Chains A and B, each alone.
Chain A
Amino acid sequence: MQLFIEQLLNGVAMGSIYALITLGLALVYGILRILHIAHAAIYTVGAYVGLFLFKLSGSLIIGVAGSMVFCALLGVGIERFVYYPLLKYPPYVPLIGSIAVMLAIEELCRLVAGPQILTFQAVLPFPQFQIGGITVSSTLTAVYCITALVLLLLWYITSKTELGLAMRAVSQDIPIADAMGINSHLIVSLTFAIGSAIAAVAGSLVGIYYNQVYPTMGTVPAYKTLALIVVGGLGSVPGAVVASLLLGVAETLLIGYANIPLPRDALAFIAMIAVLMWRSEGLLGSR
């Protein structure tokens, strides 16, 4: 039982990390209906910028905040200069553009910061818990708290503010939203900014969590998050969160109990194929 609870805690932490990375992708798909692969590259940049500013200033808060601003601008830049001009073409054109941006940013990170693994030696100021024989380490606590905070903020923005209302309007129908006096292009840019800022938090958090920052850290998330938004229901933010948490727990339990020869990454795609076959709208999506 104790082992089960520990594995559950590990799984929820893994799922929380997946959720943080997937959120931006779900937001962007919800509003523009494009698969924003380059989101994983923004996540990598977020880790690098966070690490750089942290080393420069010695403050983790400045590092992460600076990284959020930088990534928000980067996200908006990609939207303005890559996706916006391509929106008039069929959806695979922005997708190809996105893959190109992803590769370009990854290589740029390698050229600027070098190919080797950098370490992100920051201490996350969170407490450690000891309940019975179960230890909840401070890094696990940090992952839970930060994810909860981000989700709460995002929920507040999307459902309690006028910006959230405008975002929903734009995601339903851009021309109608425009006709109602919403500056829909501004709303799209803001959505990218929010999603990318969350990716910066995710990048920095993962960098600290594993104490590793390297140019290809976005490669696995790039395709795994894709599977996750499909499983969650394309464009559904709550769906993406639920899918991420479920996958994190499922992966961890499967590794912990069954010695499967499959690498854990395969599970996300098995889930994706199953969803596409039997419930194509996803867990929480609507047709």
Chain B
Amino acid sequence: MKITKLLILAGLVLLLGIGTAGAADTIKIGLMAPLTGFAAADGASVLNSVKLAVERVNSQGGLLGKKVELIAYDDRANGKEAVAVARKLIQQDRVVGVVAGSYSTPSRASAPIFEDEQIPFVAAYAVHPDITKAGNYCFRNGFLGMVEGKSAGFVAVQMLKAKRIALLTSDNDFGRTLAEGFKAYIQDYAKGAKIVYAQTYPFKEKDFKPYLSKIKEINPDLIFASGYYFQTGPILKQAREMGIKTQILGEEGADSPKTMEIAGKAAEGFVIVTNLNRDDPRPEVQTFLKEYESRYKIQPDMVGASAYDAFMIICDAIKRAGSTDGKAIRDAIAGTRNYRALTGEIKGFNDIGEVVKEVQVQIVKEGRFHNFGVVTDMNLITP
């Protein structure tokens, strides 16, 4: 009796397997994003943006005559979770390409798995160098931490004319890499500028007053805060409350409407280096920004736009390759030239899989990010 039951069960499972494998009338593209956990606001932004991208592709007739289907999973910005999700995307869903719309830790953990299966993998905004080093199938549409850190150094010294600089760094991969890039720029390019205070703070820090009191006494020209919106937002708020008027410079981790929500008026005049220019005059960018805000009732941000681009880069490659074969898509992505993405024109990808494009500089005015400038120096932006 037991054996018959088992046999029936096994048969059912097999049937189900055939069922999904047979239903290949769509092209499946995977998405990993932190939909829950501390990074959930970024996860929501990623998913919302990629959904818009899917609609756009499908309304224009899909790819190779088929509809595109998005398979999105939650990796909770956690490495272990990301590995499980990666296996699910490969074995159960048989996706042809993957957008890593998540942080460095989970993206780093899952990149080698997709590399082994020869499935093209495009990291949207994670900054860690190891992601693209996993192999030929791994690309990045966001900036490498060093590139962004150096660009921040350029903005501090050249655009904001700072001579004495304080660093407040979030103690994780992201914050530390950015601070390294920043220091490298000061050392190599800015002889007149000096770092007068450098301090890392624990990831879960909420009370920045002890650091800020110290900074207040040193009275630098500029504070470079490398961290996420839930860190830089409170830094802005607490600094202004304490009467510190020093210019504060951030980066893409603070590129979120949540920064302004947390800091309120204290965010005015805050400058960031990032991946998305809100004042980009190109119609595709303005359409995206308007459509996003009208649909989701919140301002779009850099993580969402980067994930949208990562998804579109894969779609564009499938179209040019005329195939869903992993190697063909990979070669097409590697051959991307002068692609008009939301986050600026992508000049191409280098041998490691790093994007080459200009770094955007934004400033907060009346609670919104606006254009402040662009870093175009090829010495700085070439990874």
Contact assessment for A211 and B237 in the assembled complex, using a CB-CB cutoff below 8 Å: yes
B257-280 vs A, CB cutoff 8 Å, 1 = contact: the mask equals 010011110000000000000000
Q: Does B207 contact A (CB under 8 A)?
A: yes
The A interface, classified by DSSP as helix, strand, loop or mixed, is helix
Q: A7 with B213: in contact, given A110-B36, A116-B41, A116-B44 (CB under 8 Å)?
A: yes
Closest A residue, CB atoms, query B204: A220
A138 to B240 alpha-carbon distance, docked (Å)? 12
Q: Does A139 contact B (CB under 8 A)?
A: yes
| Those of A259-273 within 8 Å (CB) of chain B | 259, 263-265
**What are the residues of chain B within 8 A of A137 when measuring CB–CB?**
241-243
Range of interface residues on A (Cβ < 8 Å): 20 to 34
Contact assessment for A256 and B213 in the assembled complex, using a CB-CB cutoff below 8 Å: yes
A6 to B215 alpha-carbon distance, docked (Å)? 12
Q: Does A117 contact B (CB under 8 A)?
A: yes
From A14, A135, A255, contact of B242 by CB (8 A): A135
**A-B residue pair count with CB separations less than 8 angstroms:** 78
Closest B residue, CB atoms, query A263: B202
Closest B residue, CB atoms, query A136: B242
Contact assessment for A139 and B241 in the assembled complex, using a CB-CB cutoff below 8 Å: yes
Q: Does B209 contact A (CB under 8 A)?
A: yes
Q: Does B283 contact A (CB under 8 A)?
A: no
Q: With both chains docked as a complex, state the minimum distance between the C-beta of B259 and any C-beta of chain A, in angstroms.
A: 11
| Those of B164-218 within 8 Å (CB) of chain A | 171, 199, 202, 204-207, 209-211, 213-214, 216-217
Contact assessment for B199 and A259 in the assembled complex, using a CB-CB cutoff below 8 Å: yes
A259 to B198 alpha-carbon distance, docked (Å)? 10
| Those of A235-284 within 8 Å (CB) of chain B | 251-253, 255-256, 259, 263-265
From B36, B210, B261, B263, contact of A10 by CB (8 A): B210
| Those of B224-263 within 8 Å (CB) of chain A | 230, 233-234, 237, 241-243, 258, 261-263
Q: Does B373 contact A (CB under 8 A)?
A: no
A114 to B199 alpha-carbon distance, docked (Å)? 33
A117 to B206 alpha-carbon distance, docked (Å)? 13
Q: A10 with B264: in contact, given A137-B242, A264-B202 (CB under 8 Å)?
A: no
A255 to B40 alpha-carbon distance, docked (Å)? 30
**What are the residues of chain A within 8 A of B216 when measuring CB–CB?**
3, 6
Contact assessment for B207 and A14 in the assembled complex, using a CB-CB cutoff below 8 Å: yes
Contact assessment for A116 and B199 in the assembled complex, using a CB-CB cutoff below 8 Å: no
Q: Does A210 contact B (CB under 8 A)?
A: yes
**What are the residues of chain B within 8 A of A138 when measuring CB–CB?**
241
Q: A121 with B264: in contact, given A10-B210, A114-B40, A212-B234 (CB under 8 Å)?
A: yes
Contact assessment for A117 and B262 in the assembled complex, using a CB-CB cutoff below 8 Å: yes
Contact assessment for B37 and A115 in the assembled complex, using a CB-CB cutoff below 8 Å: yes
A11 to B209 alpha-carbon distance, docked (Å)? 9
Closest A residue, CB atoms, query B202: A263
Closest B residue, CB atoms, query A257: B214
**What are the residues of chain A within 8 A of B234 when measuring CB–CB?**
210-212
Q: Does B38 contact A (CB under 8 A)?
A: yes
Q: With both chains docked as a complex, state the minimum distance between the C-beta of A139 and any C-beta of chain B, in angstroms.
A: 6
From B209, B214, B241, B262, contact of A212 by CB (8 A): B262
A122 to B330 alpha-carbon distance, docked (Å)? 51
From B41, B171, B202, B237, contact of A117 by CB (8 A): B41
Which residues of A are at the interface with B, using a C-beta cutoff of 8 A?
A: 2-3, 6-7, 10-11, 13-14, 110, 114-117, 119, 121, 135, 137-139, 210-212, 214, 216, 220, 251-253, 255-256, 259, 263-265
New contact pairs (12) apart from A13-B209, A114-B40, CB-CB < 8 Å: A2-B217, A3-B213, A116-B40, A119-B261, A137-B242, A138-B241, A210-B207, A211-B262, A214-B38, A252-B210, A255-B211, A256-B211
Ordered by A's residue number, 14 sampled pairs between the chains whose C-beta atoms are within 8 Å are A10-B213, A14-B209, A116-B41, A116-B44, A137-B241, A137-B242, A138-B241, A210-B206, A210-B234, A211-B234, A212-B206, A253-B210, A263-B204, A264-B205
